[in-house]
Amino acid sequence: MWTMLGRSLGLVLLIATLVHAGPLDRVPHSATIATQLAKALSEQGLDAIAAQDPDEPDRFIAALFFEDAQLLVVSARYASPSLLKARLAHKQYRDVYLDLSGSSIADSSILFQDMNADGLCTRRDQAADIVYDGSQAAKIFDGDWGKHKSDHTYEQQFVVADQRYSRLLNILLEQLRGSTLINGVRESHPPPETESVVRQ
Residue-level pLDDT at 44:
94
Residue 71 contacts residue 64 (beta carbons within 8 Å): yes
Residue-level pLDDT at 171:
97
Residue-level pLDDT at 192:
37
Query: What are the domain boundaries of the chain?
Result: 29-180
Instruction: Give the three-class secondary structure for 149.
Output: coil
Residue-level pLDDT at 112:
98
Separation CA 103–CA 81 (nearest Å): 12
Residue-level pLDDT at 191:
38
Residue-level pLDDT at 24:
53
Helix (H), strand (E) at residue 16: helix 2-20
User: pTM value?
Assistant: 0.78
Q: Which residues contact 74 (CB under 8 A, 6 or more apart)?
A: 61, 62, 63, 97, 100, 101, 104, 109, 110, 111, 112
Residue-level pLDDT at 15:
34
Residue-level pLDDT at 98:
96
Residue-level pLDDT at 184:
34
Q: Which portions of the chain are predicted below pLDDT 70?
A: 1-26, 179-200
